[in-house]
């Protein structure tokens, strides 16, 4: 298996807090990697370090055999790394269409190509019928989908998703998972942070678990959900419920 991303011995402190403690993660080309862990365990910080929003105190980020540690976010994005944000920031007074088009334009050879890409992505995300609605008038699920549309319109190779299922009902989760599956099947490598345990266990090929900035477990979902270390660290209601409803 070819490695697309290597996080090597990365440490990041905020004052007295160690957000990431000597974290090493290999991500394989075209895999779907789930990332779980309690609140404050370093998941978003890991994404911030990979995408250049935060410089690690120690360690390296290697993407497609290139050292990208400390590169500015826009340069990393240009190499094909896209992300969504846990806190969404659409341009509230622009339409759904224009919100995506402004991301498509710099990533296309001309306006026609940008319009084509925008239409394709909005259709894939089931937002085409909502294209003229202002971003501020979307519901929470549609806003998450818009965030996802902006992330994928530039055809990324590596896509980092930070809690894109937040605010979804169970039926909406299944719909968004089906969309993510399509994106994955088109050849995109996906890293997904998520608290919805049922979803992460269903869609991930491999899962890593963070706790207090340390990777405490790594492996296929079936193994992770039975790991006593994970159960202890993640004794949140979500995980307990997941285990109860998946007893055989
Ligand atoms: N910019 C920052 N300044 C100061 N402390 C920070 C900053 N970003 C993160 N932290 C701290 O680092 C730790 C890890 O935070 P992080 O946001 O990575 O957690 P997380 O796993 O994404 O949590 P959640 O599930 O709540 O989103 C926390 O203790 C957090 O308070
Ligand atoms: Mg987070």
- Domain residues for the domain of 38 are 3-86+158-245
Does the Cβ of 36 fall within 6 Å of ligand 1?
A: no
Tens-place pLDDT, residues 64-98: 999 999 999 999 999 999 999 887 778 889 999 99
- CA-nearest residue for atom 25, ligand 1, is 39
| Residue 108 in domain | no
pLDDT at 66: 97
Q: Rounded to whole angstroms, how far apart are CA atoms 194 and 197? A: 7
CA 85/CA 228 separation, integer angstroms: 31
The Cα-based distances of 187 to 43, 115, 180, 201 in angstroms read 24, 22, 11, 20
pLDDT at 247 > cutoff 60: no
Q: Is 109 exposed, middle or buried (0-12, 13-18, 19+ CB in 10 A)?
A: exposed
Say if 237 falls within a structural domain.
yes
Q: Is the CB of 17 under 6 A from ligand 1?
A: yes
**Which residues are registered as beta bridge partners of 7?**
25, 61
Q: Within a domain: residue 103?
A: no
Q: Is the CB of 41 under 6 A from ligand 1?
A: yes
Q: Give the residue whose CA is nearest to atom 31 of ligand 1.
A: 40
To test the pocket of ligand 1, the residue of 45, 160, 200 to mutate (highest count of ligand atoms within 8 Å of its CB) is 45
In a domain, 142, yes or no: no
Residue 232 lies in a domain: yes
Q: Tell me if 13 is assigned to some domain.
A: yes
The angle formed by the CA atoms of residues 225, 226 and 231, to the nearest 5 degrees, is 75
Q: Residue range 185-197: average pLDDT?
A: 94
pTM for this model (two decimals)? 0.92
**Does the residue 134 lie in any domain?**
no
Number of domains in the chain: 1
CATH number at residue 239: 3.40.50.300
The pLDDT tens digits of the residues spanning 136-153 come to 999 999 999 999 999 999
Q: Do the domain assignments include residue 233?
A: yes
Q: Which helix (H) or strand (E) holds 38?
A: none
Rounded to the nearest integer, the mean pLDDT of the chain is: 93
């Amino acid at each position: 298996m070819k490695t697309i991303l290597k996080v090597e011995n990365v440490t990041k402190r905020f004052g007295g807090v160690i957000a990431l403690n000597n974290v090493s993660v290999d991500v394989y080309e075209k895999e779907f990697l789930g990332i779980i862990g309690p609140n404050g365990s370093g998941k978003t910080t890991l994404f911030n370090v990979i995408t250049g929003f935060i410089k690690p105190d120690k360690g390296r980020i290697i993407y497609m055999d290139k050292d990208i540690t400390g590169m500015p976010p826009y340069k990393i994005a240009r190499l094909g790394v896209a992300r969504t944000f846990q806190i969404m920031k659409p341009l509230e007074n622009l339409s759904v269409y224009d919100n995506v088009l402004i991301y498509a334009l710099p990533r296309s050879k001309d306006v026609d190509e940008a319009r084509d890409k925008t239409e394709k992505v909005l259709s894939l995300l089931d937002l085409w019928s909502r294209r003229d609605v202002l971003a501020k008038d979307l519901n929470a699920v549609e806003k998450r989908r818009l965030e996802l549309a902006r992330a994928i319109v530039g055809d990324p190779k590596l896509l980092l998703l930070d809690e894109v299922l937040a605010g979804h009902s169970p039926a909406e989760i299944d719909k968004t998972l089906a969309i993510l599956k399509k994106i994955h099947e088109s050849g995109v490598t996906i890293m997904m942070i998520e608290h919805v345990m049922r979803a992460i266990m269903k869609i991930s090929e491999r899962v890593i678990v963070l706790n207090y900035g340390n990777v405490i477990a790594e492996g296929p979902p079936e193994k992770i959900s039975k790991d006593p270390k994970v159960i202890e660290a993640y004794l949140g209601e979500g995980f307990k419920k997941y285990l109860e409803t998946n007893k055989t």
